[in-house]
Amino acid sequence: MYGDFNFFDIKTSIQENIKAQEKFLKSFESMMDVKENQANQTAREIVFEEDKLKLFHYKKSAAYVSKVPTLIIYALVNTPSMMDIGQEKSFIKKLVDSGLDVYLIEWGFPTQEDKYLTLDDYINIYIDDCVEYIKKENKVDKINLLGVCQGGTFSLMYTALHSDKIKNIVTMVTPVDFSTDDGLLFRWGKYLNPDRMVEAYGVVPGEFMNTGFLTLKPISLMVNKYVDVINDLDEPDHLSNFMTMEKWIFDSPGQAGMAYKDFLNSMYKENKLCKGEMEVAGKKVDLKKITQPVLNLYAEKDNQVPNQATIPMKDLVGSKDYTAKGFPTGHIGMFVSGRSQREVAPTVVEWLKKRSR
């Protein structure tokens, strides 16, 4: 009827259907066996607590450990667990195994009783109390800071206000100049009304934050993410790591109202830190007072913190020992990729060790 054309090859169709079913069954079996959480497996203990905050200390695993402890300060949005996903890919484990003495702040999940927390509380109380604990415990006068994203902005502000307590500072994917429109989040942030959100919620819910941020993601990225999982099911622990990342993305803490409002208004709307106009508890935050060595690491393909928000740091701080380095990866790739293990973490370790003697 159709000559030499074969529009419907029943045999091929059946074979492809069988293969598809086999792959589905294999995927189902893999999902049944997957471990629920691959995060935070590097050995650690809680050494200090204050309100919702927990300070963790990682068990030393190297023959030689730096005498100057390093405190990691993460953003208030999301949790720092993505820095310790899977022991083969863990950024934190790489730091610890390479000889750094690592501490980490977990901010916890604010409740309504925390709605009046301010930037002063986070910087001059919570961070400062952790720094003082680490100094006393290790009998040192100064420690290193490693700040990530908004946590890097906090680290810069803390160092400017408490310069005598910090020896070196590392910032990773950290915004300082919020005037750029290169990036949806930075364009979007200028038109938010945090005052109304805080008036409505008190503590801005993590679910609200997720809904807002996820609307900025192209649908193709969301779809391709799941396609990649099916294609990579044969890789050991890939699905476990993926599920852990999914949990990390959606398991977002709420935002304490006053601090959230102050940060968005001061940074995204008025760019006060970059202009030298930022004040915390009545004290001006002058980044020129940061004369410590500074290592500024950024992701060249970052779609969350554009390079234009990070690179200007060089002209804002007062350090004469300033190093900036970009890596050809994305925001999260700085912590969970093969490049993170091969290049990013070793860069942090080598730089800090040279300046922590």
Q: How many CB atoms lie within 10 A of CB 43?
A: 12
Query: Pick from 189, 168, 160, 165: which is nearest to 316 by CA?
Result: 160
| Beta strands at 44-50 and 53-58: parallel, antiparallel or unpaired | antiparallel
Instruction: Assign 115 to helix, strand or coil.
Output: coil
Which residues are bridge partners to 143 per DSSP?
Answer: 166
Q: Which two tokens stand for residue 200?
A: 């409505």
**Among 83, 131, 149, 156, the one annotated catalytic:** 149
Amino acid identity at 330: G
Q: How many CB atoms lie within 10 A of CB 117?
A: 22
Q: Identify whether the C-beta of residue 170 lies closer than 8 Å to the C-beta of residue 145.
A: yes
Strand runs (DSSP E) across 179-227, as ranges? 203-204
Is 130 considered catalytic here? no
| Beta strands at 283-284 and 166-172: parallel, antiparallel or unpaired | unpaired
Q: How many CB atoms lie within 10 A of CB 60?
A: 16
State how far the Cα of 256 lies from the Cα of 159, in Å rounded to an integer: 22
CA dist list (Å): 290 to 48, 196, 212, 297, 354: 27, 35, 34, 17, 19
CA dist list (Å): 261 to 180, 201, 266: 20, 12, 8
**Which residues are annotated as catalytic?**
149
